[in-house]
Every structure is written in C-alpha cells, then in structure tokens.
Amino acid sequence: MMKGEVDMKNFRMFTAALLSATMLYNTNTMLFASEHFSDIVTNAWYASAIDFVNESGIMSGTSNTKFSPDTTANKAMLATVLYRIVGSPAVTTQNRFTDVSNESWYANAVIWATENGILEGISENTFGSNEPATQQQVIAALWKYAEKYKSK
C-alpha cells in the first residue's frame, strides 16, 4: 500500500473502536436500538452500529437480552473492547494485578492492554477494573491504540 492510501479493514476496525468508545460514554437517557436487546428502541439512528459491534463480537450486552446502554463503562470494559477489535491475541505476560482474577472475562484484555501500553494500572499491582473509565482514559487509550495498531 502506498503512503496516503487507506487500508479499509483497518479503517473499519478503527471506526468500530471510536464508535464503541462513543457508545461506552453515552450518558443519554435515550435507549439504544437493536433487534437483539429488549432494553432498546428498534428505530434509533444507531441501530445498525449496535448490531455491528454485537455481531462482530466487539461488544455484548450485560445479559443475553439487555444491552444496558446507561451503564457506566469501567476500565475492564474499555480494555475488552480494544482487545476484541485487535482479534483477542494471546497474552505473553503473567497477570500482575491482584484485583484481576485470571478467571475473569476481562483478564486477558487487561493483561494485553497493559503489556502493550494501551492502559495503565492505578499501581504496580492494582488495575482498577471496576473503576469508571474516564474520558481522559478513553481518549488516551484510543490514541495509544491508534499509534500502535493503525500506523502499520
């Protein structure tokens, strides 16, 4: 590919990351739209986007029937969205965080995000998985993700 050309696959994945982050930060009381979840309106303008991230495995609901659009996103959720976008690669380091169980649904995502410099723990041995992801953390994570994965 020549300089300046857009790799459409990478562009779509980056766009999905931005969309996911936007959805993570929606503080609207309006309900999302999708055919998969009972807590959303079916004719919202973003219905296809929600279906895309759900069907692509980038995001899922909080249960089989609920998307929970008003739930505050935490650091584990942010790590998981970005980890899934890059294809959930194998992690190569040990889990150093005492607050992240190796059996948790987000363990590999947290290990990947910290080993790749996308997110940081709140201390050497504490990640803060259940802490709300701040706007600053989301922006910084997207920036670091884009630098690492979209410059290729």
* Per-residue three-class SS string for 67-83: CCCCCCCEHHHHHHHHH
Both structure tokens of 18: 């931005």
- The pLDDT score that the predictor gives to residue 3 is 47
- The pLDDT score that the predictor gives to residue 32 is 39
- Per-residue pLDDT of 50-103, as tens digits, reads 778 888 899 888 888 887 777 899 999 999 999 999 999 999 899 999 999 999
Count other C-beta atoms under 10 Å from residue 94's C-beta. Answer: 9
- The pLDDT score that the predictor gives to residue 28 is 40
CA distance 110 to 80: 7
More confident residue, 136 or 30: 136
Scored b (16 or more CB within 10 A) or e, 18-34 reads ebbbebbeeeeeebbbb
- The pLDDT score that the predictor gives to residue 35 is 59
